[in-house]
Amino acid sequence: MVAIPHTTEAFVVSAPGKAILFGEHAVVYGKTAVAGSLDMRAYALVTPRSDNHVRLVLPDIGVDELFDTQTLPRLTPNMLEHPGMVEQLMGHISVPSGPGRLAILTFAYLFGSLFVDNCGFTVSVRSLLPVGAGLGSSAAYNVALAAALLRLSGRLPAKNASDVINEWAFAGEQVAHGTPSGIDNSVSTRGGFLEYTKGSEARNLRTTNALRVLVTNTKVPRSTRELVAGVRNARDEHPTVVNLVLDAIHETAVSAVSLFENSSDGVEQRLQDLVRMNHGLLATLGVSHAALERIREITARHNMASKLTGAGGGGCALTLVPSDASNETVEQVQCELRDAGFECYSTVVGGTGVAFTECVAAEPVDKWIVRMSSHGQNPAVPADPFAAVVAAFVALPASAVAKLAP
């Protein structure tokens, strides 16, 4: 039986999103892709309760569920053929439909797998990642949740903690997506840049240089499945031509790996060149969109290279910001993109992976959250002495939430 640590203090776990820099679509056919952690993160606030209930609060998607831990299923190894089958064990517990359904099932799977004793706590998750935009919002949630529950259950080892977090986060991704590649949770757990080839383990690239980028959401919905099928159809119709394009995309990724690991003069300009080439090749495959091309036009006027990231067909574009670009120039580009109807975020790619935070500027996170929030004091809840902290966290401005990462 696993002893549950007596948790009396609040803490926060944060995990980054991800952006694919090179190799989209070609990676499906065994080619190389390069991805990096995106410093737009999911934040899980963990607070103790004094009863045997667990509460899951996901304000971004309207979830606030309270479970009696005695009714949640406990899972043993090999009980399920696949983590996605956890719903079969939920019994009389009603899981609501809607966007929070998979998030709740993931929580139930991880709790049932990691906890034996009854216990009480609240997990509240805020995300600064747009959902469904190809930026790894699901993986960031699963990594933050897995890390939080591993710590609470006493199963987070002192050594190789990231490997254990990644393993359980991948199981969470399986609940949500069935057969995920594992690249999203690997990037979110480890941070930095990863080289990935289908069927092989992802490899961290030997570089410590995060890149300043703009992430622009076209707000154009797209279906990854349909876009992947479209490339497959084109390959079936024109195998020689499309295979050459896929090989060329592979070479942009391989060249990028070399640049990341063998820094020399002119690396920044060559990365910009590879970004332009990779996008052009993807556009040849028919996975660009007028909105993505408009973003490229706007950023090109300021000597910045942009490309689609993810499946394309809308979604998001990634723009490399030159190191010598002034803040005024970056703000001007963001203004032009917003005037064109897009959502634009300034961030970095290749930064820190999953991280724990107990204090902000030496102040305990719960006290800091309440002080930074404009939310009024809630009446005391006997079973949940941290109810006011949870309410304050839910109401916290996004700019303050971002400060909860180390």
Residues whose CB falls within 8 Å of the CB of residue 57, separated by 6 or more in sequence, listed in order: 63, 64, 122, 123, 124, 125, 390, 394
Annotated catalytic residue 117:
no
CB 63 within 8 A of CB 100: yes
Establish whether 265 is a catalytic residue.
no
Measure CA 42 to chain center.
Answer: 7
pLDDT per residue over 115-159, tens digit each?
Answer: 978 789 999 999 999 887 889 999 999 999 999 999 999 999 888
Which pLDDT value is given to residue 202?
Answer: 86
> Could you tell me the sign of the dihedral formed by the alpha carbons of 224, 230, 234, 237, in that order?
positive
Of the residues 39, 60, 184, 384, which is catalytic?
Answer: 184
Cα–Cα distance list, 166 to 36, 242, 368 (Å): 15, 34, 29
Least confident of 93-97, 108-112, 160-164, 382-386: 93-97
Whether residue 365 contacts residue 45, with contact meaning beta carbons closer than 8 Å, is answered with yes
- Asked whether the predicted pLDDT for residue 71 surpasses 90, the reply is no
Q: Is 64 helix (H, G, I), strand (E, B) or coil?
A: strand
Instruction: Please give the structure tokens belonging to residue 231.
Output: 């490339």
- All residues at 6 or more sequence positions from 398 whose CB lies less than 8 Å from its CB, including other chains: 128
Residue 294's pLDDT band (cuts 50, 70, 90): very high
pLDDT of residue 381: 67
What percentage of residues in the chain have a pLDDT greater than 70?
93
Residues 6+ apart with CB under 8 A from 297: none
Give the predicted TM-score (pTM) of the model.
0.89
Largest CA distance in the chain: 69
What backbone torsions phi and psi does residue 3 show, to the nearest 5 degrees? -80, 130
User: Of 52-56, 110-114, 226-230, 336-340, which one has max mean pLDDT?
Assistant: 336-340
Residue of 113, 124, 138, 373 with catalytic role: 138
What CA–CA distance (Å, rounded) separates 319 from 349?
11
Q: What is the DSSP string of 282-318?
A: HHHTT---HHHHHHHHHHHTTT--EEEESS-SSSEEE
What pLDDT does residue 6 have?
A: 45
Return the sign of the alpha-carbon dihedral for residues 393, 395, 398, 399.
negative
pLDDT digits (tens, 9 = 90+) for 1-41: 233 444 668 999 999 999 999 999 999 999 999 999 999 99
pLDDT-derived band at 279 (thresholds 50, 70, 90) equals very high
The answer on pLDDT for 338 being more than 60 is yes
* Residue-wise pLDDT tens digits, 382-391: 677 889 999 9
Evaluate if residue 68 carries a pLDDT over 70.
Answer: yes
Mean of per-residue pLDDT scores for the chain: 90
